[in-house]
Amino acid sequence: MAKSSADDEELRRACQAAIEGSKQKIMISIRVAKRRGIWGKSGKLASYMAKPRVLALCLKSEGHKKQAFLRVLKYSSGGVIEPAKLYKLKHLSRVEVITNEPSGCTFTMGFDNLSSQSVAPPQWTMRNIDDRNRILFCILNVCKEAFGRLPKVVGIDVVEMALWAKENKPSVITQKNQQAGHGPVSTRVAESDLKVTSLNVEGLNPILNSHNMVHSYVMGIGEAEAFSARLKRELLALEAANVHAMLESEPLVEEVLQGLDAATHCVDDMDEWLGTFNVKLRHIREDIESIETRNNKLEMHSVNNKALIQELDKLLERLCVPSEYATCMSRGKFDEARMTQNIEACEWLTGALRGIEVPNLDSTYGNMRAVKEKRAELEKLKATFVRRASGFLIKYFANLVDSVMSDKNYFSQRGQLKQPDHADLRYKCRIYAHLLQHLKSLDKNCLLPLRKAYCSSLNLLLRREAREFANELRASTKVSISPTTWLEGSPGGNQIGNSTDTSALSDAYIKMLTIFIPLLVDESSFLAHFMCFEVPALVPPGVGANGNKRGSNDDLGIMNMDSNDSKADLQSLNESLQDLLDGIHEDFYAVVDWAYKIDPLRCISMHLITERYLSGQQADAAGFVRVLLGYLASKISLQFNRFVDEACHQIERNEHNVRQMGILPYIPRFATLAIRMEQYAQGQSRDLVDQAYTKLVSIIFVTLEKVAQTDPKTYDIFLLENYAAFLNSLYDVANFVPTLAKFYQQASGAYEEACMRHINMLIHSQFERLFQFARKIKDLMFTVSPEEIQFQLGLSKMEFRKMLKSSLSGFDKSIAAMHKKLQKSLTSQELLPSLWEMCKKAFMDKYVGITQLAARIYPTESIPSVSEIRNLLASL
């Protein structure tokens, strides 16, 4: 017999290495084949190929507590053993040996903690019976010792297993194979390994104790031949005694025989009688069975006929049309008093149509002629009722709106603004809300003309209300017209400073939105519910029901739906909202245009108001109202941009004026305009205002450059004066407006550049020879050493002394002439002190460079010191 894998030390070491780090010690490891079985069919093996596995029984000790595990290890693609599954033996509840399997080497194990008990446990197949018994005895012994209980064992004799355990108790000393060049080596088995295969058989089953008792009794008799001879002697003695007793009781035997004969005759007679009775009973039984069969058939016919009558009665009830409902639906009226009857008739008709459709009615009834005829009759009745109800509602909506529009007192009149009130209108419409729901359930297509009629009628009312309200709002608001030429005119003009208060324009726009936006929202929501649109709560465009952004296809702000029916209803609702509010924006545009003509800057406050309403519509119920507000915001932005473009054209006109002198008039006016715009913006609507600032200031700077280039002599003076005026006028506003602060820095840089160019021109024109001499020296220093420059032509010490004498002999007069020239060139005398200080500082910086150059080239020559020149400048 081949060596068992349970004794394979290399296998055990490979398994121990696979679970290294788990603090578990392998007690026994054995190779098995894994198959998948089926619950309740223990003998049926899986049809696919078995998988090689290794079962390893492991122990883990934590102090006095011991844990037992059954590990399943598998072979990787490289033939290396690796862990596959881990079972805790404390959850082992059942061990079943497959009895119908021919080899008897297959068993299954059931655990009570598996997540899915409906999946059959795997079947484990050993190489032979000894391997099967060894692993099972090891598992049972560990369960007994560690947990004090045994799992349920099915399909194996416990006594047979116990006897096998006694016969196969392993020796303590095992022999290893003789290696090359070595003799047999004795190896002592570890104590834990001995416990694995040496089981406590008496603890498994009480049957083993009785077996031991029988075995001990047999062993106490002696030789088997003596015992057999004794039994034979006793048997012969018993037979002889029986023969003697029979000879002595012969008379008694004869009497018994006579009695037996008499009893035999009686039994024969009884048998004849029973045979006769049996024939008669058989005929009676056949008659009874025939009667019962006919009776059962009659009873079945009776039951079937009764059930058929009941089904036909139910079918007749379904097919019967009550006369009151038929009259109501074909010739009834639709006034408010009879709406209850109409609703009841609709409910009955809906139920009747649904009742004769296939899952509510058996399909076998559907082909009956009576059912087909009744279905056609109900369809005709439905078409008649839908046509009559639709025609009535279309006329009702038109008449309801006409009655409101014929009342002039309902709308705003001269001297009286009236807020539209649709409460009574909606009350009269709600009377037919249930009727509309039933019409939709009867025929969805009938709602399209009803929706168009309702939206068209109500649109006329909404547009007239908005038109009358807007006209009276403009007529009742008295505001003086502000100048439209903000940045042009004579320099002495003061149009902006004397501008009137136009806050009434913003108040009028707010009143228009306050009155009509909630009204339009309510009407949109009422339309969605009244006209039975199967869409959820409406949400703003670009935002889904969960707050996420959506695509641009939701132009009315209604949430997308998954089903095709809901998408169709969504598109239909969008079209109805378009019909309901079509053209209403024109009256809002009229208010915006009116406010723009009076005060274009009021576009800023109106844009701010519109943005607030847009932010307040985030969770509202009418997406088209939000679209209307978006149109209004775009219209206001367009008008404001138109104003900015006109202002830019006003600035560009200055470019064509010849001989511009001094500060251009639009620079201080722009500062006043910016202050006014910030007052209207109130720290908000920054995008609109900042874009205007960027456009206006950019065109101001470009125009300044173009105007300055018309006269090169006054180029720098013109730029520095205008940039200085720009900086002075915008100083306060630029402190809290980031966009203007950026342009303020740009103008400041341009101002300093223009100042430096003009100052350098004055200095060089007054001390031209001094600075030309220094420039020659600097140019020559690139090719000649400093010590040799004084020997060059025109740069000798004599020439240096002549240059100093001619340039600095009348220094005070030269400085006074330079100051006078600077004063004469300026038209804004307030700039003179700062420019003169800049001029003196620039001259001293240049003179310091000249003194340093002279000390290096002409070290022996004397030159006025820097401190002397600085003191002389300070005294002038």
Q: Any alpha helices (H) in 494-555, and if so which ranges?
A: 503-530
pLDDT digits (tens, 9 = 90+) for 98-155: 888 888 899 999 888 876 566 678 899 998 888 888 888 898 888 888 888 888 888 8
pLDDT of residue 288: 92
The pLDDT confidence band at residue 281, using thresholds 50, 70 and 90, is very high
Q: Which pTM was predicted? A: 0.54
Structure letter (DSSP) for residue 714: G
Would you call 595 exposed, middle or buried from its count of C-beta atoms within 10 A (0-12, 13-18, 19+)?
Answer: buried
Answer for the pair 831, 721: CB distance below 8 angstroms, yes or no: yes
66 Cβ contact list (under 8 Å, min separation 6): 59, 60, 146
Structure letter (DSSP) for residue 411: S
- Spatial separation of the C-alpha atoms in residues 460 and 453, rounded to whole Å: 11
DSSP symbols for 156-188: S-HHHHHHHHHHTPPPSEEEPPPPTT----EEE
479 Cβ contact list (under 8 Å, min separation 6): 500, 501, 502, 504, 505, 598, 599
119 Cβ contact list (under 8 Å, min separation 6): none
Any idea what the Cα angle at residue 283 is, between residues 281 and 284, rounded to 5°? 60
- Spatial separation of the C-alpha atoms in residues 704 and 713, rounded to whole Å: 15
pLDDT of residue 546: 38
pLDDT of residue 330: 80
The arithmetic mean of pLDDT across residues 284-304, rounded, is 90
Lowest mean pLDDT among 225-234, 485-494, 500-509, 724-733: 485-494
pLDDT digits (tens, 9 = 90+) for 299-318: 998 888 888 778 766 766 66
Structure letter (DSSP) for residue 189: P
pLDDT digits (tens, 9 = 90+) for 510-547: 888 888 888 888 888 888 888 888 765 444 444 443 34
Query: Helix 250-319 and helix 369-405: axis angle, to 10°?
Result: 40
801 Cβ contact list (under 8 Å, min separation 6): 861
CA 238 to chain centre: 101
The arithmetic mean of pLDDT across residues 800-820, rounded, is 77
- Helix/strand/coil for 74: strand
pLDDT of residue 284: 92
- Spatial separation of the C-alpha atoms in residues 644 and 647, rounded to whole Å: 5
The arithmetic mean of pLDDT across residues 664-674, rounded, is 82
Would you call 427 exposed, middle or buried from its count of C-beta atoms within 10 A (0-12, 13-18, 19+)?
Answer: exposed
Instruction: Give the count of beta carbons closer than 10 Å to the beta carbon of residue 663.
Output: 20
pLDDT of residue 617: 64
DSSP symbols for 459-506: HHHHHHHHHHHHHHHHHH---PPPPS-TT-S-TT--TTTTPPP-HHHH
- Spatial separation of the C-alpha atoms in residues 798 and 860, rounded to whole Å: 12
DSSP symbols for 217-236: HHTTT--HHHHHHHHHHHHH
- Helix/strand/coil for 596: helix
Lowest mean pLDDT among 128-132, 218-222, 286-290, 744-748: 218-222
Residue 213 has phi, psi (to 5 degrees) of -65, -45
- Spatial separation of the C-alpha atoms in residues 543 and 112, rounded to whole Å: 52
Query: Helix 585-598 and helix 602-616: axis angle, to 10°?
Result: 150
Question: Cα Rg for the chain, rounded, in angstroms?
Answer: 59
CA 707 to chain centre: 59
The arithmetic mean of pLDDT across residues 179-203, rounded, is 37
The arithmetic mean of pLDDT across residues 811-824, rounded, is 78
- Spatial separation of the C-alpha atoms in residues 155 and 160, rounded to whole Å: 12
Please provide the distance, in angstroms rounded to a whole number, between the alpha carbons at the two ends of the chain.
130
- Spatial separation of the C-alpha atoms in residues 148 and 141, rounded to whole Å: 10
The arithmetic mean of pLDDT across residues 426-439, rounded, is 87
